[in-house]
Amino acid sequence: MMRTRPLKVALLGCGVVGSEVTRIMTTHADDLAARIGAPVELAGIAVRRPDKVREGVPAELITTDATALVKRGDIDVVIEVIGGIEPARTLITTAFEHGASVVSANKALVAADGAALHAAAEAKGADLYYEAAVAGAIPLVRPLRESLAGDKVNRVLGIVNGTTNFILDKMDSTGAGYSEALDEATALGYAEADPTADVEGFDAAAKAAILAGIAFHTRVTIDDVHREGLTEVTAADIASAKRMGCTVKLLAICERAADGASVTARVHPAMIPLTHPLASVREAYNAVFIEADAAGQLMFYGPGAGGSPTASAVLGDLVAVCRNKLSGTTGPGESAYTRLPVSPMGAVTTRYHISLDVADKPGVLAQVATIFAEHGVSIDTVRQQGKDGEASLVIVTHRAADAALSSTVVALRELDTVRGVASIMRVEGE
């Protein structure tokens, strides 16, 4: 039997995502009520610019006083889609203090302060859900913390930023340089006017922190994630990857150590074989590849951003939280019982693709090979090209620790015969 008294929802933010959340809540009200077991009523929408035209958004619901809205005693659920650290953090904790559960799309806040937010929610018997914080409409958070809760996840490898995937895809498919591909992404609306958060890997690093924490039942913050962007990726790197039967992707990689005693989380460009499922992820799409003991290999794919996809994830969380409200329960909170340390990047082992500019004369290859051997880095393949006294060496290593590769590069730069290190890129997915 359906409850007639509605559950009241406060919405913080009414931009692209918030407007779409409002539209779906209005046009699908009957369906949402049937799925939840009670009507849901949008009781207020907090915005910074009340005079902005928002088509389909009831003007009478608009307020600039977000604090007063979340303090209302009749609010059951607060949806936060304003982003950033403050005032979002204060508004969310205030909502908990006044009895509301929270649905958030705020990856930056959850990645930076998730433990404190979970503790605040638990102290008040409230829910904190944030499916929309990672990869838009793609279900990832709930499968990791619920569907795979009985399994042991060992690795999460994914493309979690659509802007960077679009740029790298265009570089691969058209031969364009980074700047040209970025210009196209901006013109099409995939890249912001200031694309720093995307192209420097901050967005993906926040998502990696969230995924690693859930997957490995330990606390991982954005400060624990090694981060490299794609601004240094060149058309020559893309061409080298093609010659190896690979493509280049900006990857978020979260791994449990082989001995199970630690975890790592990192974001950086990498070459992956064309045979890997992630290699076929094109345009601005996202995909995440999960490896678990019992489930084996799983892949989640779909649109990772945008108003409608993100709103879909928000509404999915809203339904779950409202159901919990009706039954007087809460969903899964933070699971950090393993307390595993996060190893530094220097301890991570992977393969490397290194391109060196060297003098074209006898003995250079032997000198370079000696440096690699002295630092414990084993060479898999070497390709050499030379002309007019200059040459290039393209070296692919076997798996080596990042720290060992770094010391190798320092030593290579001290050789008179090495003119420069043109590029270094990791090789993943093998």
- How is residue 133 annotated by DSSP? G
pLDDT at 430 > cutoff 80: no
| Six-digit token string for 141 | 């958070």
- C-alpha 427, offset from chain centre: 19
Q: What is the pLDDT of residue 385?
A: 77
Torsion of CA 321, 322, 326, 328, to 10 degrees: 20
Angle between helices 307-327 and 29-36 (to 10 degrees): 40
Q: 69: number of CA atoms within 13 Å, CB side?
A: 25
| 333, amino acid identity | G
Cα-Cα end-to-end distance for the chain: 53
Q: Are 429 and 278 in contact (CB under 8 A)?
A: yes
Question: Rounded distance, CA 296 to CA 300, Å?
Answer: 13
Question: Rounded distance, CA 207 to CA 311, Å?
Answer: 17
Question: Rounded distance, CA 51 to CA 33, Å?
Answer: 31
333 exposure class (CB count in 10 Å sphere: 0-12, 13-18, 19+): middle
Element spanning 173, H or E:
helix 162-174
pLDDT at 274 > cutoff 70: yes
| Six-digit token string for 15 | 């931009």
Higher pLDDT among residues 251 and 391, named by residue: 251
| Six-digit token string for 344 | 């530094």
Q: Residues 8, 170, 207, 249: which is the catalytic one?
A: 207
E strands present in 4-139: 7-12, 40-46, 62-63, 77-80, 101-104, 128-129
Average pLDDT over residues 199-213: 98
Question: Rounded distance, CA 52 to CA 60, Å?
Answer: 13
| Residue pLDDT, tens place only, 354-363 | 999 999 888 9
Question: Rounded distance, CA 179 to CA 19, Å?
Answer: 32
Q: What is the pTM of this model?
A: 0.95
Lowest-confidence region among 11-15, 34-38, 117-121, 189-193:
189-193
**Residues whose CB falls within 8 Å of the CB of residue 69, separated by 6 or more in sequence, listed in order:** 10, 12, 44, 46, 63, 75
Lowest-confidence region among 113-127, 236-250, 377-391, 407-421:
377-391
Q: Are 56 and 23 in contact (CB under 8 A)?
A: yes
pLDDT at 389 > cutoff 70: no
| Residue pLDDT, tens place only, 222-233 | 999 999 999 999
Select from 56, 45, 52, 50 the least CA-distant residue to 13.
Answer: 45
Q: How many helices (H) and strands (E) does the chain have?
A: 14, 17
Element spanning 29, H or E:
helix 29-36
Instruction: Write down the mean pLDDT value for the chain.
Output: 95
Question: Rounded distance, CA 369 to CA 109, Å?
Answer: 46
| Residue pLDDT, tens place only, 406-428 | 999 999 999 999 999 999 999 99
Q: What is the pLDDT of residue 124?
A: 97
Q: What is the pLDDT of residue 387?
A: 64
pLDDT at 126 > cutoff 70: yes
**Residues whose CB falls within 8 Å of the CB of residue 150, separated by 6 or more in sequence, listed in order:** 294
As a three-state string, the secondary structure of 64-101 is: CCHHHHHHCCCCCEEEECCCCCCCHHHHHHHHHHCCCE
Q: What is the pLDDT of residue 388?
A: 65
Question: Rounded distance, CA 426 to CA 397, Å?
Answer: 10
Question: Rounded distance, CA 306 to CA 136, Å?
Answer: 7
207 is catalytic: yes
